[in-house]
Structure 1
């Protein structure tokens, strides 16, 4: 029996004409069916031998994805997403990066540094959200640094990116939200805060930990003297209560780590609702309030959200800012899961 005869037994005619390659799992499954079918022993061994030769041939030619990280067979391409074929449905840590046109080498170094600070023997995935139109070559350039690259519109600053990630993964079955997710930008801002906190404070029960300075806010007015009235609405949306007339914890920089538990403690609809405001049509009132540079890529609402992440994830105690010292690195600089 020739290899083409074996292929005829293993693959439908439509797949043979399309040139679709078998995966390793599919090939072995088909061969196993042949082995257990009521055939003569000699025919079975011939089929298995030829099948093994075909598999080895595909592997050595790189068609089974045993080659370099960028081999074509190691990734899946769709209109907006590149994802590696060995993508894991679960992860201890996700590193989620919001990227526009920042320097690729800086982002590469930032991701590598963050990964080097994570606990050993823990799994991680790197997901880059690209907010700039890129051709295939441009996406592949980002893909060299990541397990997944997702193209999304350039709206809402980094906050919309983080909401998009949560919305994409919240209701998957099982949920693809990692046990802990690091949300960051392509460069490590406030590195003297970010890196020591990641290195020294990360614990299995870390609930929320900002990698930027802590401040406080009271229903839209932060301790730096800036006012973002929608912070009061964000408080009510995620805490299911009126914004109280007392300080609550806030932060700068839009870089932090949060637990899966705290992400899922909020209703899916809350994330969807807030994200939708960044995708409102031009005539929507959301674009008519705030600063003179209020535009889809840099809306005032995005600055309100940047400061509100502690509130979103239930780390509201203003005492954290006082005991931590804003830029401090102590065990009192985070909220722990019970």
Structure 2
């Protein structure tokens, strides 16, 4: 990302004007009045920082809204378009800005071609270009946007680490700053307490944040090589090279990756609101780049021979811009769909890591100033011992401020969670008397029977199931399977062979339809090769109870609009199944924006009363469709280029996602918002009702 302002002088509001500040006040061989220059530059610096604060907050928030709420699940496309727009605007700025206050063409045209000054900026440009698509991937795959912004101080820790390793003369301390260590520890607390971590979001989000820090460090090192004592022309060439290479690398990285990984092909037309949001997103990203270089961290650069952005401890304006921008995103996200859960521990850790970026002296000055004693604390004539002894009260005040702010933020988060609408009423077959307590229905093809037995033994050893004796019912779709041998090897109670049609969805529907009057009180439906086995067992341990009505054992929190249902893995409800089922189940059509919670991985637990709460004909219709070898479900117009065979029908992906709807648990906003991911597991304040619909 880029910044084109060549006039801003970054002054530290908490520092005096030193010789370097005075030197920066010279421009074009003219000496300006020092005090007037200081006031003008500081006002301009604040205006620029304020503009970046708003643009960065809007850019991050609208990106999340586009990808999640509006179904534009294409972060690489967003990154490519943003880099392309930045390139166009930068070229225009070069052509029309000559001679103006923001003029960039102060050298001949050939000076803007690749030259030796560019070499030092290659690492910074590479890291800056790579950070954007990585960060956007993290925003897409991390369900909770607040955790991304609360981890943003890691940018400065990564920057400090690189500067220390490279022994940069611009670093503030010879050793790794203690502030960076505090940031890392506090950010680990943020992640540890996150209730909905996802591996892709964790990897890409952290990589994006780390690469932003790497870019800042490499930019500083490149600037050191250019030297502030060199001519302004040399620095202009180096910075122009950074901008040009960043947008070029960015278009190449995101364009090539997007070509192979993203295919923008939706059956749903893009509405005007989505188009307007996309336009606003692009404008805000452009504004962010030109005012402060990148997202999350305010990194203003200047095309004049002036000091660039600071590293830890940060100057006041830079800290305030980044902190306010990220806090705005945090607060707005708390009251937006999907509603995240933010704990007081996360907020406290975020505030600690953020405040540490200022350093002890600046934090003390700010706290004392807030307490009304800034005049006394800022006296330069005070002895060192007095200043040290005077830090106790400000430290206690800071702890109190962080504690109060954390609890206030947590309270706001709980208000937002509690405002979520309740589930539509469920119809249960209360007259049904099951003949067995618990069945485990397993869909098998040709998996190793020994591994299947190990999986089943692990499941049966969980908290609730270890107190009862569940029946194991295996349905094999292997035409060459030996039923007796399979039963013996797996320890199953019943083994039946089925024709290899319709994936695991057909197996489950077959069991429901053919065992309608013999359904157990509760049934676990699972595949022979269970997904996420390491996280699956804790999920069963924590949430499976006697009142369980519908408990999904796959991904959590994935919601779509009823009449335009789709997800970020490219699936769309091309058969219009969701609104049709909704009307059959609830006897009324769904609102176009009604949120529907999707289920994944083909593994869940459901009660017999809840299964029988809807008409048997619904299950029979789905079974007929998913096991058909031809017909509408295999229509090439609908299926397109997707894989579609009788044993692996495209319609099977739809059935995988609608089990929650069939069990009348897909409209429960509380489950959609509160259920932690498999990776995070149940937190300290978690409840069994967070992840399931209970039969009460």
Task: Give the TM-score band, short-chain normalised.
Answer: 0.5 to 0.7
Q: Indicate the residue corresponding to 1:333 in structure 2.
A: 691
CA displacement at 1:250 relative to structure 2: 0.9
Residue 202 (str. 1) matches residue 544 (str. 2) = yes
**Partner SS, residue 90 of structure 1:** coil
Q: Indicate the residue corresponding to 1:250 in structure 2.
A: 598
**Partner SS, residue 273 of structure 1:** helix
Residue 216 (str. 1) matches residue 562 (str. 2) = no
Task: State the distance in 1 between where 2:597 and 2:487 align.
Answer: 36
CA displacement at 1:281 relative to structure 2: 4.3
CA displacement at 1:105 relative to structure 2: 1.8
Q: 1:269 to 1:124 in 2, by over 3 A?
A: same
CA RMSD of aligned residues (A): 1.9
Task: State the distance in 1 between where 2:659 and 2:448 align.
Answer: 26
Residue 311 (str. 1) matches residue 658 (str. 2) = no
Q: 1:179 to 1:244 in 2, by over 3 A?
A: same
Task: State the distance in 2 between where 1:270 and 1:168 align.
Answer: 13
**Partner SS, residue 310 of structure 1:** helix
Q: 1:235 to 1:156 in 2, by over 3 A?
A: farther
The structure with the larger Rg is 2
Residue 190 (str. 1) matches residue 532 (str. 2) = yes
Q: 1:236 to 1:155 in 2, by over 3 A?
A: farther
CA displacement at 1:134 relative to structure 2: 2.3
Residue 128 (str. 1) matches residue 470 (str. 2) = no
**Partner SS, residue 468 of structure 2:** coil
CA displacement at 1:268 relative to structure 2: 1.3
Within 5 A, what are the aligned runs for 1:9-158? 90-117=435-462, 118-134=464-480, 138-144=482-488, 145=490, 146-158=492-504
Per-residue CA deviation, residues 250-306 of structure 1 (Å, 9 max, x unaligned), is: 121010101111011111111111101123342x12111325311111112110110
Task: State the distance in 1 between where 2:443 and 2:588 align.
Answer: 30
TM-score (norm 1): 0.67
**2:671 aligned to which of 312, 320, 323:** 320
CA contact (8 A) 2:439 2:523 kept: yes
TM-score (norm 2): 0.34
* Deviant stretches of 4+, over 6 Å: none
Q: 1:193 to 1:318 in 2, by over 3 A?
A: farther
**Partner SS, residue 184 of structure 1:** strand
Residue 294 (str. 1) matches residue 639 (str. 2) = no
Q: Indicate the residue corresponding to 1:160 in structure 2.
A: 506
Any stretches of 5+ residues in structure 2 without a counterpart?
1-433
Task: State the distance in 1 between where 2:497 and 2:442 align.
Answer: 12
Q: 1:281 to 1:186 in 2, by over 3 A?
A: closer
Q: Indicate the residue corresponding to 2:632 in structure 1.
A: 285
| Bigger helix share | 2
Q: 1:318 to 1:103 in 2, by over 3 A?
A: farther
Task: State the distance in 2 between where 1:123 and 1:337 align.
Answer: 21
**Partner SS, residue 658 of structure 2:** helix
Residue 259 (str. 1) matches residue 607 (str. 2) = yes
**Partner SS, residue 598 of structure 2:** strand
Q: Indicate the residue corresponding to 1:62 in structure 2.
A: none
Residue 227 (str. 1) matches residue 585 (str. 2) = no
CA contact (8 A) 1:181 1:258 kept: yes
CA contact (8 A) 1:94 1:178 kept: yes
Q: 1:228 to 1:193 in 2, by over 3 A?
A: farther
Task: State the distance in 2 between where 1:227 and 1:178 align.
Answer: 33
Q: 1:299 to 1:234 in 2, by over 3 A?
A: farther
CA displacement at 1:336 relative to structure 2: 0.7
CA displacement at 1:147 relative to structure 2: 0.9
**Partner SS, residue 222 of structure 1:** coil
CA displacement at 1:221 relative to structure 2: 2.4
Task: State the distance in 2 between where 1:256 and 1:238 align.
Answer: 20
CA contact (8 A) 1:130 1:150 kept: yes
Task: State the distance in 1 between where 2:582 and 2:626 align.
Answer: 17
Task: State the distance in 1 between where 2:566 and 2:676 align.
Answer: 16
Q: 1:228 to 1:103 in 2, by over 3 A?
A: farther
